[in-house]
Homo-oligomer: A and B are copies of this chain.
Amino acid sequence: MGWIKVVGIGPGDINDMTLKACNSLKECDIVVGYTTYINLIKPLIKDKEIISSGMRREVDRCKKAVELALQGKNVCVVSSGDAGIYGMAGLMYEVVHKENIDLKIEVIPGVTALNAAAAILGAPVMQDFAVISLSDHLISWQVIEKKLELSSQADFVIVLYNPKSRERPENIIKAQQIVMKYKREDIPVGIVKNASREGQQLIITTLKEMANYEIDMRTIVIIGNESTFVEKGKMITPRGYIL
C-alpha cells in the first residue's frame, strides 16, 4: 500500500515552498490537485503522473488519491498555501476515515496566504488576529456574520479569505459594514491580490474605502486593529515594544 501526503505548496512562488514540500513531490509517484495549483508547481513535477481537476471536485480528488494509494502508489495531494487552513487536509482524513481504510496520511504544512500577504504589506498581523472566510458555499452566512461581529468587537486584526466571488459579490460589502460598527473607519486595510504569484497587486487603504478597490477570490484582505498604522508605505501593527 502506498502513502498519501497532503502538501501545502505555499502561496504560489516555488521559492515559498518548504524543503519538505519539495521533497514530498520528488518522492511521490502521482500528484493530484486542482488545475490552477498544479500549474504553479509544473516545473517541479515534470516527470510525474498528474491528475488534475477543476473547482468543487475536492471530494473526487481525495477519493482518487485513496484509490491510487490502495494500488500501491505514493500520492501527493496538493493544496495551495497551507493544507490545514481552508485546504485539503481535513477532507482527506474524512474520506479515508469514512471508507475505514488504514492508510498513512501525512500533512506537510506550508506558508498560508495570510503569511505571504502580511509580508508584502509590512507587518500588519503582529498582534492577536481572527481569520474568516467570506465564502458561504459550505457555511451559512449567519455564522460568518457572527464571527465578523464578535471579532470586530474584540478588536482583533481581521484577515479575510475568499472575500468575493462572482456568485456573492455583496459579501465583502456586508462584511465591511459589520466591521465598521466597531472599528474606526480610518483603520488601515491591506488588500493583496495574487500574493507571491504572477500579477501580484498591493493596496493599502482604509476600512471606509476598502470596497472601492478590486477584490476577488485570489485576494486577501487584512483589516488592522486600533493600533495599526501606515508609515512609508508599510502597514504595521506594533507588537508593543517601547523603543
Which applies to chain A's interface (DSSP): helix, strand, loop or mixed?
A: mixed
Asked whether any CB of chain B lies closer than 8 Å to the CB of A97, the reply is yes
Among B17, B139, B150, which residue has its beta carbon within 8 angstroms of that of A150? B150
User: A123 is contacted by which of B90, B143, B156, B232 (Cβ under 8 Å)?
Assistant: B90
Contact indicator B17/A19 (Cβ below 8 Å): yes
Of A35-43, A45-53, A79-87, A173-181, the one with at least 4 CB within 8 A of chain B: A79-87
0/1 interface trace, chain A 72-112, chain B, CB 8 Å (1 if under)? 00000000001111110111111101100000001111111
Q: Is A32 an interface residue when CB atoms closer than 8 A count as contact?
A: no
Question: Complex Cα distance A130/B114, Å?
Answer: 13
Does A187 make an interface contact (CB < 8 A)? Answer: no
Residues from chain B with Cβ under 8 Å of A201 in the complex? none
CB–CB A108/B119 < 8 A: yes
Interface digits, A228-243 against B, CB 8 Å rule (1 contact, 0 not)?
0001101011111111
Rounded to whole angstroms, the CA-CA distance of A151 and B83 in the bound complex is 23
Check if A10 is an interface residue, CB within 8 A of chain B.
yes
B151 and A91 form a contact (CB under 8 A): no
Q: How far is the CA of A141 from the CA of B144 in the complex (A)?
A: 27
The residue that A128 contacts in the complex, of B22, B110, B126, B132, with Cβ under 8 A, is B132
Complex: A115 Cα to B8 Cα, angstroms: 10
A239 adjacent to B86 (CB under 8 Å) = yes
Q: Is the CB of A127 within 8 A of B139?
A: yes
> In whole Å, how far is A203's beta carbon from the nearest beta carbon of chain B?
18
Q: Is the CB of A83 within 8 A of B119?
A: yes
A125 is an interface residue with CB less than 8 A from chain B: yes
Knowing A16-B20, A147-B156, A154-B151 are in contact, say whether A89-B138 is a contact too (CB < 8 A): no
Q: Within the complex, which residue of B19, B91, B133 is in contact with A19, where a contact is CB–CB below 8 Å? A: B19
Given known pairs A94-B241, A231-B93, A236-B94, the reply for A85 and B15 (CB within 8 Å) is: no
Q: Tell whether A14 is near chain B: CB-to-CB under 8 Å.
A: yes
Does the CB pair B138–A156 fall under 8 Å? no
Question: A90-B236, A97-B231, A150-B153 provided; 10 other pairs, C-beta below 8 A?
Answer: A16-B19, A59-B242, A84-B119, A84-B126, A90-B238, A93-B123, A94-B243, A107-B122, A138-B241, A139-B240
Closest 4 CB pairs of A and B: A138-B240, A90-B123, A90-B126, A89-B123
